């Protein structure tokens, strides 16, 4: 059993981008080599800027290479909650941006000829409880009437044609959500950014930032310092103590995934006949999909603990038990991969982007980072080019986590996790 992400293990080998000399200055320095940083570097370099990206490990080594490889539509809060908070017009604008984000990923894969198995697989939101299905019925009407988005409601009987399990009580099918091989996409986006002129420096963490009297920043790194007119923080759940303002606004939650041995086409299709992306409605839920080589990837929170080798193995055991509860036919299947990673959540469960103390940022994707990180990289490139209206998240603020003396260590998560797991058990 490999304790590395399947997506990175099965992507083409990366070149070594470490050990290179930093230039003395740049127009833009991007901190972080995940999808946010790579997309920002790509779109900013295409505008003609001198761009340097620094990454403390390898590109995609954080959440961008450790996720479920789903590119799904839909807000990180319910449409009704968005309307309650912001009014219908603003809620529609936010919803449209999440929908456009999937289009942006598709556009980049096509423009840059990134072979990453991108296809509109469709997303099944499956109902864990009967009342969840009734809520989906109301959501379907709301999306059609107020957000211009057509979905399909599937009863429990109809779901049998989409899922080889009797565990759920129905589903809401969004036909436009996409699947991709996120490891190949990350690697392809890095190469596209370099073709556009960006420099990528791996294994070179940013260690400090100083605002310069004449404007701009001095970015200190493990291997030297560089002056920059503009700086973009693209670190999300992997934000360290060099950026304390953001740590106070992010709750980092562990998420874990197992991937089975190859099942063969017939066995895989018996599980998910049409290759949909599956996300269930539990509070501590699961996300499920087939890989391009007919394995089952099965993810979830599993444990409210940080990701490390021991924690990942424990979480993998929990996930295998839960997987076979949903799919009893997989009881004897071998698990070939298990890994974990951190997901950045904001207190209000929405991503946030803008400018803070002269520093540009986008983070807090709440589990929707594949498409939104890519989309927001493009938006930040426009913002840095003098177009603040390009930010679909403008005006939302970025609230602190309202816990006394909070500094980025979410000590309270096990208590919250126990509460929500108890709620899930109450059928």
Provide, rounded to the nearest whole percent, the portion of the chain with pLDDT above 90.
89
Distances from the Cα of 326 to the Cα of 94, 185, 420, angstroms = 34, 30, 19
188-238 per-position pLDDT tens digit? 999 999 999 999 999 999 999 999 998 999 999 999 999 999 999 999 999
43, 201, 204, 333 from 55: Cα distances, Å: 18, 6, 6, 37
User: Using only C-alpha atoms, what is the Rg of the chain?
Assistant: 21
Distance CA 316, CA 301 (A): 10
The sign one gets for the Cα dihedral 351, 182, 35, 315 is positive
The tokens of 373 are what?
């990180």
Q: What is the pLDDT along the chain (427 residues), one digit of tens a residue?
A: 999 999 999 999 889 999 999 999 999 999 999 999 999 999 999 999 999 999 999 999 999 999 999 999 999 999 999 999 999 999 999 999 999 999 999 999 999 999 999 999 999 999 999 999 999 999 999 999 999 999 999 999 999 999 999 999 999 999 999 999 999 999 999 999 999 999 999 999 999 999 999 899 999 999 999 999 999 999 999 999 889 999 999 999 989 999 999 999 999 999 999 999 999 998 778 999 999 999 999 999 877 777 888 989 999 999 999 999 999 999 999 999 999 999 999 999 999 999 999 999 999 999 999 999 999 999 999 999 999 999 999 999 999 999 999 999 888 877 776 656 666 666 5
CA atoms lying within 13 Å on the CB side of residue 125: 23
User: Which backbone phi and psi does 258 adopt, to 5 degrees?
Assistant: -120, 150
369-384 and 88-111 are packed helices; what angle lies between their axes, rounded to 10 degrees?
A: 90
Q: What is the residue whose two structure tokens read 């779901």?
A: 159
d(CA 248, CA 347): 10
Could you tell me if residue 148 is left (phi over 0), alpha (psi between -120 and 50 degrees) or otherwise beta? left
Q: Which residues pair with 356 in a beta bridge?
A: 359
pTM, two decimals, is 0.95
Q: Quick one: 325 exposed, middle or buried, by C-beta within 10 A (0-12, 13-18, 19+)?
A: exposed
- Residue 182: which of 379, 378, 380, 369 has the closest Cα? 369
The token duo for 403 is 């816990």
Residue 274 structure tokens: 């049409």
Domains within the chain, CATH numbers bracketed: 6-390 (3.50.50.60)
In tens, the pLDDT along 323-364 reads 999 999 999 999 999 999 999 999 999 999 999 999 999 999
């Amino acid at each position: 059993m490999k304790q590395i992400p399947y997506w990175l293990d099965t992507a083409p080998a990366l070149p070594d981008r470490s050990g290179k000399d930093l230039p003395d200055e740049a127009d833009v320095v991007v901190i972080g080599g995940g999808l946010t940083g790579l997309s920002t570097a790509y779109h900013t370099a295409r505008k003609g800027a001198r761009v340097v990206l620094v990454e403390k490990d390898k590109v995609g080594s954080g959440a961008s290479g450790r996720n479920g490889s789903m590119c799904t539509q839909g807000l990180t809060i319910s449409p009704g909650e968005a309307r309650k908070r912001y009014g219908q017009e603003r809620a529609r604008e936010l919803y449209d941006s999440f929908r456009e984000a999937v289009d942006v990923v598709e556009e980049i894969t096509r423009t840059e000829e990134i072979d990453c198995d991108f296809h509109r697989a469709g997303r099944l939101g499956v109902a864990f409880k009967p009342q969840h299905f009734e809520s989906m019925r109301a959501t379907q009407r709301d999306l059609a009437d107020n957000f211009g988005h057509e979905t399909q409601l599937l009863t429990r009987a109809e779901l049998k044609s989409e899922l080889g399990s009797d565990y759920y009580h129905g589903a809401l099918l969004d036909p436009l959500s996409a699947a991709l091989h996120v490891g190949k996409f990350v690697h392809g986006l890095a190469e596209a950014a370099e073709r556009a002129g960006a420099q990528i420096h791996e294994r070179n963490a940013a260690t400090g930032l100083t605002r310069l009297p004449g404007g701009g920043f001095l970015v200190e790194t493990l291997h030297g310092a560089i002056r920059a007119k503009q700086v973009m923080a693209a670190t999300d759940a992997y934000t360290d103590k060099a950026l304390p303002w953001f740590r106070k606004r992010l709750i980092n939650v562990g998420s874990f995934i197992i991937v089975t041995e190859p099942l063969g086409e017939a066995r895989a299709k018996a599980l998910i006949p049409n290759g949909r992306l599956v996300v269930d409605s539990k509070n501590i839920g699961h996300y499920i999909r087939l890989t391009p080589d007919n394995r089952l990837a099965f993810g979830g929170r599993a444990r409210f603990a940080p990701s490390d080798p021991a924690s990942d193995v424990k979480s993998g055991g929990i996930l295998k038990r839960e997987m076979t509860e949903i799919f009893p036919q997989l009881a004897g299947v071998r698990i070939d991969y298990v890994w974990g990673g951190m997901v950045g959540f904001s207190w209000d469960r929405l991503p946030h982007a803008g400018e803070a103390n002269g520093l540009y940022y986008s983070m807090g994707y709440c589990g929707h980072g594949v498409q939104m990180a890519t989309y927001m990289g493009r938006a930040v490139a426009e913002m840095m080019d003098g177009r603040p209206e390009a930010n679909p998240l403008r005006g939302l603020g970025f609230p602190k986590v309202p816990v006394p003396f909070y500094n980025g260590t979410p000590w309270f998560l096990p208590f919250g996790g126990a509460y929500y797991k108890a709620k899930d058990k109450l059928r």
